[in-house]
Structures are given as C-alpha cells and as structure tokens.
C-alpha cells in the first residue's frame, strides 16, 4: 500500500513551520501535521487567506494547534521580521513549500526575478535565518528536518549563472525549471554542510508529482488565457492526483523515521506523477557539487544571509 497519512507518527511536542500553508499542498501538509499533534506555524504571504485556512482546519480538527504568521518570501525584510518573531522557538520541521510557477517576468521588492527570488532565494534566506531554531530542536534528541519542495520539472532546469535573473532573456517555464533545480541543489548542499558540522538536522528535497492545486493557474493571463485555463482544468481532471495525495511526499520526508538526509522523495507511481512516496534519483545536474557551491555563494551575496556552517567535506577518492 505504501505510505499514507495514516502512517504519520504522532507529532506531539514538535513544531513545524510551513511556508505557503494557506492553500494546496501547504494546507494539506498543515492539516495532517496538526491532526497528528504537531504545532504548526503557517507562514503565509496573505494574512487573510492564512486566517481563513486556519479556521477551516480548526473546524475539522478542534484541537489543532496552529497559528498564522506573515512571511512574504518575495521580501527579505518580511523574512527577517518573521524570523525575529519566532527567534525563541525551536523549529523541529521547516517545510519550504511556497512557490510560484511559470509567470511572466516580474521582480520581487529586492529586485530578484520572482520565480528565482521566491522559490529559491526566499527559502534560502528563511532557512538560514531559522538555523538556530532548528539546531535547538535537534538538541532534544530527535533530528530536526528541512524539507524543500521542488518539482519533477527540475530535470529540465539548468542554472544560468550568466543571466540567473533572466534580465537578458526570459522564458517563464525555463525560469521555473531553473528555480526548482535550485531547490534540489540547495537541499543537497545544505545536507552536506549539516553533516560536516555534525548537526542534528537533516535536509531533504521532495516533489509532489502532478497534483491538482491552484499553483497551476497563477500567472495565466493575456491572449488565449481562457484556452490555457480550460486545458489545465481538463488535464488536472484526467491525470492529476489530489492535493492531499500530492502532500504525501512532503509529509513522509517531514515525519517518517525511514527518511535519510540528502534524499529526494516523490510519488512512485505512473511516471512519478502519482502514487505513494518513495526515494528517487533526481537529475544529473542536481548532483553537481561545483554548481551547488556556486549557487550557495550567489545566494549568500543576493540575500546577505550567512549560514554558520562549515564548508562541506570533499568526497573521498
């Protein structure tokens, strides 16, 4: 049968931070974690939507321990403010879930191309800002976890270091694939640095397969938008799994005792688009340590966030 929500170990005493928790996979992840006793901080860009989502969870799970905090991943200032508000709290699980997909070129308030800025740089800054929270939780004897949600489309991605912000040339799907590859490179590089330190924190990457969420409809506009919307709705109806099933790889990586740091987890069914989660191989580019280190350094320069972690050990030859 494979892993289902019924297999989630009880999470009493554990605190999770979930970005983009007000809808789609983030909402389903929050729902199941609270159902199993976790305290969840819903890190949301839009407070109104976050409060409405929290209310819906409490209506189903009256004992749910959940609260909404503003965290806009398109704003380094908002990320810093969020980290300051939770500075004294241990974070057992950080789920880097929020994202945007295949939108026309825009920029964040800090001047980053939005897909790269939100999907990767925002989560890089947030994770670095919460590193002490994660270490504090790991000191309890149960390893803390960082789960970064990527996409199967990362396999089409390549980090264009000569034009990473898409200033000279921009294609919405190319930019999306680049940001999702950045997620996996980041998750692996973070794991290597955590292992070098000997920290009681592990880092993994996941992908949801083909899940029916509202992410696919953001950014649709312009000429022929109604046709693209209709096609995506039909495709979702025929091929996609539900958001609750799409959340299973995230929930598995966040809670299962079988999860290993540096792993990549996704649906194991048809074309890795649906089915119960399993460990998988990511793209060849995602294992490029030189590119990962270069991306890490670029991310530090862009965000100004420094990680108090040693350089990773080089593989033995």
Which of 176, 246, 248, 161 is CA-nearest to residue 210? 246
Active site residue ranges? 176
Closest CA to 253 of 179, 149, 128: 149
Measuring CA to CA, which residue among 97, 115, 109, 98 is closest to residue 172?
Answer: 115
Q: Which tokens is 309 given?
A: 């972690």
């Amino acid at each position: 049968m494979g892993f289902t929500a019924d297999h989630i170990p009880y999470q009493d005493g554990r605190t999770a931070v979930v970005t983009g928790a007000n809808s789609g996979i983030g909402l389903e992840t929050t729902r199941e974690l609270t159902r199993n006793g976790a305290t969840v901080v819903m890190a949301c860009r839009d407070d109104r939507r976050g409060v409405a989502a929290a209310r819906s969870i409490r209506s189903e799970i009256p004992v749910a321990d959940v609260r909404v905090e503003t965290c806009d991943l398109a704003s380094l200032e908002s990320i810093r403010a969020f980290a300051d508000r939770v500075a004294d709290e241990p974070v057992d699980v950080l789920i880097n879930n929020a994202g945007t997909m295949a939108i026309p070129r825009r920029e964040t308030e800090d001047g980053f191309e939005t897909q790269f800025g939100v999907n990767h740089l925002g989560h890089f800054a947030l994770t670095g800002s919460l590193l002490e929270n994660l270490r504090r939780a790991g000191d309890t004897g149960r390893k803390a976890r960082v789960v970064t949600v990527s996409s199967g489309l990362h396999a089409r991605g390549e980090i264009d270091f000569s034009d990473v912000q898409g200033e000279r040339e921009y294609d919405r799907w190319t930019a999306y694939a680049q940001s999702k590859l950045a997620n996996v490179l980041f998750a692996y590089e973070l794991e290597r640095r955590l292992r070098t330190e000997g920290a009681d924190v592990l880092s993994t990457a996941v992908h949801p397969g083909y899940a029916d969420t509202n992410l696919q409809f953001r950014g649709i506009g312009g000429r022929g938008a109604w046709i693209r919307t209709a096609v995506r709705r039909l495709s979702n109806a025929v091929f996609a799994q539900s958001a609750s099933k799409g959340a299973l790889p995230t929930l598995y990586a966040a809670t299962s005792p079988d999860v290993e740091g540096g792993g990549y987890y996704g649906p194991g069914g048809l074309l890795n688009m649906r089915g119960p989660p399993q460990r998988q191989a990511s793209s060849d580019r995602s294992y490029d340590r030189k590119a990962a280190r270069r991306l890490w350094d670029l991310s530090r320069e862009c965000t100004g966030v420094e990680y108090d972690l040693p350089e990773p050990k080089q593989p033995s030859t």
